[in-house]
A and B are shown apart, each in its own frame.
Chain A
Amino acid sequence: MLRNRRSDLVVAYLLTAPFILVYAWLFVWPVVQMVMLTFTDAPLIGDGKAVGFANYERMFKDPVFFKAIWNTSYFVLLTVIPGTAVALGIALMVSRLGGWLQSAVLAAFFLPYILPVTVVYVIWDWLTNVQFGMLQSVLEWVTGRPVNLWRAIPWFMPSVAVITIWWTNGFSILLFLAGLRNIPKDLYEAAALDGATRWQMFSRITWPLIWPITVLCLTIQLILQLKIFDQVYLFATGGRTQATMVLVQYIYEQAFQKNASGYAATIALALFVIVVVFSVLQFQLLRIRGQK
């Protein structure tokens, strides 16, 4: 083949140059800078002096940091498995419909996913308003009195979790639907001819074949929910934020409210490590699946 190697190289670097510049400046450099910051007492803007491992020592003795880890884990627990289970249920319900009915029902379930988080916040803030919220009648029926979900600590995380499932589940629903569609129909036809019950079809055909998608949804959700910030921040404004602090929120508070970006970077690095560990795990899972 008569190709000019040198002009190929020029084209390759021309095509990748904008991307490489952006990545070097806004991904590689920030990661390096973050690690460097953890060894200083830098304020948000300006340089700090080197403090060795003081930030790390502080972090491992900081009750608010552990509170944030606990709250984040609690939130992950409340959303990841329940959310994926609900998504699978919805996908099973939607997949048996056909035509325009399926599109309409799917749209009803998926629409929340594309809403901005602040819109989700005002919608639910209105629904749960202590005086006028529609949901208060349901709550009153359960507890006997109106509840201010956003000021009562035990209610806070579960409520944010329910709203988050409502908001982000569309993603998992679509993945499950794609997975269900890929299951060959003859399997069910054959099972039906053999007189299998609905439950047998689900437990013997659907469940094993949908399992890889389930794992995928679980890991994607896990990594997503570890980074929770927006909803917790919005619903907690004006309240006792320490009690419901999550990791990203603590980074935000240290950097932008306490002007301590050295310490903020240390917490960010902790989050970084946690997410990378789970991501590598996910990547391995995907690779195993890909090799099959």
Chain B
Amino acid sequence: MSGDPTTRDTSQSTALSHLTRSPAGILLTLLTLICAAIWFFPIYWAIITSLRSDQATVQEFGMLPTEPTLSGYIFAIVNSELPIWYLNSTIVSVSVTVLVVFMSACTGFAISQLRFPGRMVLWWTILTSFMVPITALIVNHFIIIAGVKLLNTHIGMILPMLLSPVTVIVYKQFFDGLPKEFREAAVMDGATELQVFLRVFLPMNWGVTTALAIITFIGAWNSFLWPFLVAQDEKMMTVTVGVSAVQDAYGVAYGRVLAGAVLASLPVALAYLFFQRRVTQAITLSAGIKG
């Protein structure tokens, strides 16, 4: 792999243009396209297979289905609990997103802008929880949620998913970076801290909020282990858990299984494709680097 440096806009660079337009540059671009095609192939193949009839999946190996059919999709929607799983996933992911973003924004603002006893203890707890594997707590989460009789409920599923230290850290750092004058001016005008937060600070960072909301939603939609433990009957499963349950039930009927898989990924795939820039921003922010 060569370290060809040309970044985004090749047109602007003069001294470097020979590197992209030279035969070697064209070859490198071709190689990149081939690698991207190979990387994307599993997803392409899954989509193609989902459009084949059960018979065709094991007989045809062409790159395109000869007789594309939606029978797999219809089967997945009609003969499994998929619509209910979809509803469960939506309820859980939307609730987690709204609650995590709201609680994190409030907490991040308070830690960044207000001075109150216990502030540093709170901040250190958040930093500590960032370093700790939440997965190691599943047994205790299960015991606690079982103790309050919330197993097999949406609320029980949502609660442990609210632990999201990264979101608070990103908010706190964002609020730290805003000029002090904004707050002082608002306070001079007689605004209360709550008004400062709701009218000045929050509207100033819709970008960050959208980015964090999208990435939280994707994470919640995709989470597997906890929903898998909490959902004790089929009607409480999320789509993510359900896809593997269907896999066990259908056996080798891959067309149907993959149709379910495509449907399960649709919301997150669309969220990414529509908000590509925001997803990138959220990831670089959460890793602590400037995008």
Bound form: Cα–Cα A20–B37 in Å = 47
B66: interface (CB < 8 Å):
no
Contact between A25 and B144 (Cβ–Cβ < 8 Å)?
A: yes
- Contact sample, A vs B, 24 pairs, CB 8 Å cutoff: A8-B193, A11-B193, A15-B114, A19-B106, A26-B163, A27-B125, A31-B137, A109-B39, A110-B272, A114-B218, A114-B279, A116-B264, A117-B224, A118-B244, A174-B284, A178-B289, A192-B15, A227-B135, A268-B136, A268-B138, A275-B133, A275-B136, A279-B131, A283-B127
Complex partner residue of B288 from A18, A226, A286, CB under 8 angstroms: A286
List residues of A (1-55) whose CB comes within 8 Å of B's CBs.
1, 3, 7-9, 11-16, 18-20, 22-23, 25-31, 33-34, 37, 44-45
Contact: B187 with A1, CB < 8 Å? yes
Interface residues on B, range: 35 or more
Contact flag A188-B5 (CB < 8 Å), given A175-B284, A178-B284: yes
Q: How far is the CA of A11 from the CA of B201 in the complex (A)?
A: 15
Contacts of B29 in A (CB 8 A): 96-97
Establish whether residues B261 and A123, one from each chain, have CB atoms under 8 Å apart when the complex forms: yes
Known: A20-B122, A92-B3, A123-B45. 20 other contacts (CB 8 A): A11-B197, A12-B116, A26-B159, A31-B140, A92-B4, A109-B36, A116-B264, A117-B224, A121-B243, A126-B254, A132-B58, A178-B280, A188-B6, A216-B288, A226-B133, A229-B135, A256-B142, A268-B136, A268-B139, A275-B133
Q: Hey, which chain B residues are within 8 Å of A1, CB to CB?
A: 184, 187
Which A residues lie at the B interface, using CB under 8 A? 1, 3, 7-9, 11-16, 18-20, 22-23, 25-31, 33-34, 37, 44-45, 89-90, 92-99, 102-105, 107-112, 114-119, 121-127, 129, 131-132, 134, 166, 171, 174-175, 178-183, 185, 188-189, 192-193, 198-199, 201-203, 205-207, 213, 216, 220, 223, 226-227, 229-230, 234, 237, 248, 251-252, 255-256, 261, 264-265, 268-269, 271-272, 275-276, 279-280, 282-283, 286
B144 with A29: CB separation less than 8 A: yes
Q: With A96-B20, A126-B46, A131-B58 in contact, is A105–B32 under 8 Å at CB?
A: yes
Asked whether, in the complex, the Cβ of A7 is within 8 Å of the Cβ of B192, the reply is: yes
Are B287 and A220 neighbours in the complex by a CB distance under 8 Å?
A: yes
B53 sits at the interface (CB 8 A): no
With beta carbons under 8 angstroms apart, the residue of A14, A89, A178, A227 that contacts B133 is A227
Residues of A within 8 A of B240 (CB): 116-119
Q: Is the interface of B mostly helix, strand, loop or mixed?
A: helix
How long is the Cα–Cα vector from A201 to B143 in the complex, in angstroms?
56
Known contacts A118-B240, A131-B58; A15/B106 CB under 8 A: yes
B203 at the interface (CB under 8 A from A): no
Chain B residues closer than 8 Å to A131, beta-carbon distance: 58, 252
Q: What 0/1 pattern do residues 220 to 252 of B give for CB contact below 8 A with A?
A: 011011000100000000011101100110001
What CA separation (Å) do A181 and B8 show in the bound complex?
8
CA of A97 to CA of B129 in the docked complex: distance in angstroms? 39
Contact of A185 among B13, B61, B159, B290 (CB under 8 A): B13
CB of A43, distance to nearest CB on chain B (Å) = 10
Give the Cβ gap from A150 to chain B, nearest Cβ, in Å.
Answer: 13
